[in-house]
Structure 1
Amino acid sequence: MEELLPQLAAVRVEAGDGPLRIAARTLDGAPVVCPGCGRASGRVHSRYVRRVADEAVGGRPMVIDLSVRRLYCENAGCSRATFVEQVAGLTRRYQRRTPALQRVVEAVGSALAGSAGARLLEFLGHAISSTSVLSCLMRMDLPARSAPRVVGVDEFALRKGHRYATILIDAVTGERIDVLPDRKVATVARWLREHSDVRVVCRDGAGTFAQAATEADPTLVQVADRWHLWHGLAEAVPKEVAAHSSCWAKAGPPLREGNAPPTPANAGSRSTGSWTRASACSSARAA
């Protein structure tokens, strides 16, 4: 049994017939360290049975009925009068799964999240609801991630009703770094101050992120991203052509009878329309 289930090496195991259920009992006499003060104690207060789910064996779920001791803390200055012993590799405080099964649930939840994760776990022999999978996923510690030197900042809509959040990405790799709950100047500025490794902020042309970067650190370099550069250029070119239509119209072909010369009122619409038709013709020829 110890070779098959090494996490049960510290307890006495009694395996019964029928469903895969194991009755186990912690060893008597072994002192246990109090989690409050760190002092060892062997004075037993009582016992009770914990039901702990473990990894499936042969496609069948396994449950361990573990009898554990509640002990007195013999340190008068400790805030804990009693405490329950924990078995390394088998139990954790307030947890009804073994660490091994917990790692399986976390791995499946990280890959598939709620409903899909619950269906795969059921196939593996674990009846866990989608809500429990999501709850386990939300309790996982996020991996430590350093902020990049060049960060991209942009907003996105959460749902209808003009609710927006802010997304921050690594402008070099495109990897998502963080998501902020709103797009307020104070929220973005606080994040930038907390991540002093950021030296370049790649943003759109709105003033919100510009003000946030300036408030966080005036020495931050602020640049426009490639999409907004091309978008701004595409909007500026027709306006610039229309603004100078009175200049280039004089060099064009002579006006036909009945056609009025361009005026400031109609120059913009005429030039823009000509520019659009020319672009469409060029695209058609290229196709």
Structure 2
Amino acid sequence: MGVDDFVFKKRSRYGTVIVDEATHKPVAILGGRDSNTLKAWLQQNRQVRRITRDRAGAYAFAIVEILPDAMQIADRFHLHQNLLEAIQNALKSVVPADIKIPVDQEQSNGQQPEEKTATEGF
């Protein structure tokens, strides 16, 4: 099954949707997006063995408490998001913030070529 939060009314009412991963059809729509909401549903559905979810801690804690043996799987969107963040952090640690790129100028005037930073644009 998959579990995710959604909004009934922006900044007002949130819910949790539970989806059958095989059919991609909603199994349940729950009022609220906290751990207690999911816990109540899991209590009634202890046969669940694999749960795809986002990075919400409330869902993770509810699953561990009610179904400690269930496998928790990161959903595709958050796998991509985690990968992108890891790549960005790795690049930030290796690539300097400002890169000096020489601008081509004719050397006929005998001056050194001018440099611009990559952030200045071209």
Describe the SS at the equivalent of 1:222: strand
Question: 1:158 aligned to 2:8?
Answer: yes
Distance in 1 between residues matched to 2:47 and 2:16, nearest whole Å:
19
* Residue identity (%): 33
**Which residue does 2:105 correspond to in 1?**
none
- Structure 1 alignment gaps of length 5 or more: 1-150, 263-269, 274-287
Per-residue deviation, 1:224: 0.4
Asked whether the equivalents of residues 190 and 216 of structure 1 are also in contact (C-alpha less than 8 Å), the reply is no
Distance in 2 between residues matched to 1:172 and 1:208, nearest whole Å:
24
Question: 1:233 aligned to 2:83?
Answer: yes
**Which residue does 1:185 correspond to in 2?**
35
TM-score, scaled relative to structure 2:
0.75
Distance in 2 between residues matched to 1:231 and 1:153, nearest whole Å:
17
Per-residue deviation, 1:257: 5.5
By relative contact order (CA 8 Å, sep 6+), the higher-ranking structure is 2
Distance in 2 between residues matched to 1:187 and 1:159, nearest whole Å:
18
Distance in 1 between residues matched to 2:62 and 2:115, nearest whole Å:
53
Question: When the two structures are aligned, how many residues end up with a matched partner?
Answer: 109
Matched to 1:152, the amino acid is G
Distance in 2 between residues matched to 1:243 and 1:217, nearest whole Å:
39
Deviations 1:43-66 (A, max 9, x none): xxxxxxxxxxxxxxxxxxxxxxxx
Match of 1:172 among 22, 27, 33: 22
Per-residue deviation, 1:156: 0.4
- Give 1:1-287 correspondences, 5 Å limit: 151-246=1-96, 259=115
Distance in 2 between residues matched to 1:180 and 1:235, nearest whole Å:
31
Matched to 2:28, the amino acid is D
Matched to 2:82, the amino acid is G
Matched to 2:87, the amino acid is V
Deviations 1:144-203 (A, max 9, x none): xxxxxxx10000011122421000001122011000000111110121121011011100
TM-score, scaled relative to structure 1:
0.34
Distance in 1 between residues matched to 2:67 and 2:113, nearest whole Å:
63
Larger Rg, first or second structure (1 or 2): 1
Distance in 1 between residues matched to 2:22 and 2:15, nearest whole Å:
22
Describe the SS at the equivalent of 1:205: coil
Distance in 2 between residues matched to 1:206 and 1:184, nearest whole Å:
9
Distance in 2 between residues matched to 1:164 and 1:177, nearest whole Å:
17
Distance in 2 between residues matched to 1:161 and 1:226, nearest whole Å:
26
- Structure 2 alignment gaps of length 5 or more: 103-111
Describe the SS at the equivalent of 2:88: helix
Structure 1 residue runs of 4 or more that deviate by more than 4 Å after TM superposition:
256-260
- 1:207–1:257: structure 2 CA closer, same or farther, 3 Å change rule? farther
